Each structure stands twice: as C-alpha cells, then as structure tokens.
Amino acid sequence: MIGGLGMTELIIILVIVLVIFGAGKLPEVGSALGKGIRNFKSSVNDSTEDKSVKGDIEDKNKEEKDT
C-alpha cells in the first residue's frame, strides 16, 4: 500500500495513464518525470550546501573579529 492506495487503485490509475498517453509515450513520460525529480533533488542539495558554506564563512568571520 503506497500512500493509502491499494493494489486495485494503482491498477486503475495505471490503466487510465496508459489510455491517456498510449504505450509509445510512456517511456518518454517516465524519462521526463525521472529527469525532473533528479533536477529537483540536485537543486535542493545545492541549496543546502550553499547555506552550509555561507554559514561556515560567517563563522570564520566572527572568529577573526573575536581574535
């Protein structure tokens, strides 16, 4: 059970997606979705790394002022 969805609901959703996009388009849709998720994750990771680097620089500046 994924997020409160049972096996029957997942099968119905997959059939609807197959009817809407067709069998030929499904690999393209899956690939585009995967790339979008990958880009989102990398931008989130970059954002958190930027914040930690900025915090390290601010900490160094404070230490230099204290000494």
- pLDDT over 70, % of the chain: 67
Question: Above 90 in pLDDT, residue 35?
Answer: yes
Higher pLDDT, 3 or 7: 7
B/e letters for 28-60, b = 16+ CB within 10 Å, e = fewer, are eeeeeeeeeeeeeeeeeeeeeeeeeeeeeeeee
Residues in the chain: 67
H-helix or E-strand containing 16? Answer: helix 7-21
